[in-house]
Amino acid sequence: MIYTLGIDIGSTTSKCIVLEDGKEIKGSSIITGGAGTKFPLKAFEMVLNNANITMEDLSEIVATGYGRGTFTQTDSQMSELSCHAKGVHFTCPNARTIIDIGGQDVKVISINDQGRMLNFLMNDKCAAGTGRFLDVMANILQLDIKDLEQEAAKSTRSVNISNTCTVFAESEVISQLSAGVEIEDLVAGICESVAKRVGSLAKRIGIKEIVFMSGGVAQNGGVRKALENVLKTEIIFTKDAQLMGALGAALFAYDKTIKNIKEAISCQK
Ligand code: ADP
C-alpha cells in the first residue's frame, strides 16, 4: 500500500486527506482554524488517526493553501490552483470550470480534459463575495454558518443588499433588521449578493460546462442556487467540496512517490 497525505492550510480552515494507492480516500479531517494557528497540526494528527495509520506509513506529504509555507512536516508544496484543479478532476472528470469560494478569496479556474489549469481569475483583495462576508453576516443575524442554506430556502421575498463592501453591507443588514425585515429574506439577499459578485468574475473567464463548486462555501445551497440563477447553468458539488485542495495535494504526493519509485528502479538497472 502507498499512503500519501495532502494538507490544505487555508486562511480560516485546515483540511487533510489521506489517499491509499492514489485512488481511495482513507481518511479526512476539517478543522476551523487556519494559517498561523495550531490547527493545521491538529488536522494532520486527526487525519492519521482517522485513516488508522502513523506518520511512518506515509510515502509523501504535500502542502497547499495560503499557509502551506508554514507547515514543517511537509515534503513539498503545490499551488492551491493546481491542487483544486487536480482534486476536482479526480472527483468529476467532466468538470471544465471550477468556482472555489474560500474564507478569504474566490477563484474561478478553467481546466482541460486532463485536469490541467488553462486560465484563472481570482479576487483576494476584498471580503465581498467570500466566506468572510457570509461569516460576518451570519454573526450579525446570530445564525450558524450552516443554517444560511435553510434560512435562504424559506425566503419568498429576498432583499437586495445594495452595498458590496462588507463593512457597509453590515450596517445595511443591521438597519434592515431593525426595520423588521424577515431574517430569511435578508439571508436570501446575502446569498444573492455573493452570487452576483462571484458570477461576474466567472463570466469574465467564460463559463464552460460542467461547472463544479469547491471550497467551504460550496456547502451553502443558498449561494449555489443563487449562482446557478446568475450563470444560468447547473452547478455540481459533492459533500467533500471543501476538501478538493487537500485531495489534489494528496494526488500530487502520489504522483511524486511513483516518480521516485521509477527513478530508483532505473538507477538499479
Ligand atoms: P479557506 O481555505 O480560505 O480557509 P475554505 O474553503 O475552507 O476556506 O472555506 C471556509 C469558508 O467556508 C468559511 O468562511 C465559511 O463561510 C464556509 N463554510 C464552512 N463550513 C460551512 C458549512 N457547513 N456551510 C456553509 N458554509 C460553510
Question: Does ligand 1 come within 6 angstroms of the Cβ of 11?
Answer: yes
Question: Does ligand 1 come within 6 angstroms of the Cβ of 110?
Answer: no
Nearest residue CA, atom 1 of ligand 1? 10
Question: So what's the pLDDT on residue 176?
Answer: 87
Tell whether the model's pLDDT for residue 171 goes beyond 90. Answer: no
Q: What is the pLDDT of residues 243-259, one digit of tens each?
A: 999 999 999 999 999 99
Average pLDDT over residues 137-141: 93
- The CA-based angle 189-123-113, given to 5 degrees, is 100
Ligand 1 atom at minimum distance from 34 CA: 4
Q: What is the pLDDT of residues 207-263, one digit of tens each?
A: 999 999 999 999 999 999 999 999 999 999 999 999 999 999 999 999 999 998 888
Q: Which residues pair with 122 in a beta bridge?
A: 107
Question: So what's the pLDDT on residue 60?
Answer: 96
Q: How much distance in Å is there from the Cα of 269 to the middle of ligand 1?
A: 49
Tell whether the model's pLDDT for residue 264 goes beyond 90. Answer: no
Ligand 1 atom at minimum distance from 14 CA: 4
Q: What is the pLDDT of residues 1-59, one digit of tens each?
A: 999 999 999 999 999 999 999 999 999 999 999 988 999 999 999 999 999 999 999 99
Q: What is the pLDDT of residues 49-99, one digit of tens each?
A: 999 999 999 999 999 999 999 888 888 999 999 999 999 999 999 999 999
One-letter amino acid at 172 equals E
Question: So what's the pLDDT on residue 93?
Answer: 97
Q: How much distance in Å is there from the Cα of 163 to the middle of ligand 1?
A: 22
* Residue pair 26/53 in contact by the 8 Å Cβ criterion: yes
Question: So what's the pLDDT on residue 215?
Answer: 96
Tell whether the model's pLDDT for residue 132 goes beyond 90. Answer: yes
Nearest residue CA, atom 16 of ligand 1? 131
Question: So what's the pLDDT on residue 192?
Answer: 95
pTM summary value: 0.94
Question: Does ligand 1 come within 6 angstroms of the Cβ of 220?
Answer: yes
Residues in contact with 77: Cβ distance below 8 Å, sequence separation at least 6, in sequence order: 62, 63, 64, 68, 69
Q: Name the percent of the chain lying above pLDDT 70.
A: 100
Between 175 and 125, residue with greater pLDDT: 175
Residues in contact with 49: Cβ distance below 8 Å, sequence separation at least 6, in sequence order: 27
Tell whether the model's pLDDT for residue 121 goes beyond 90. Answer: yes
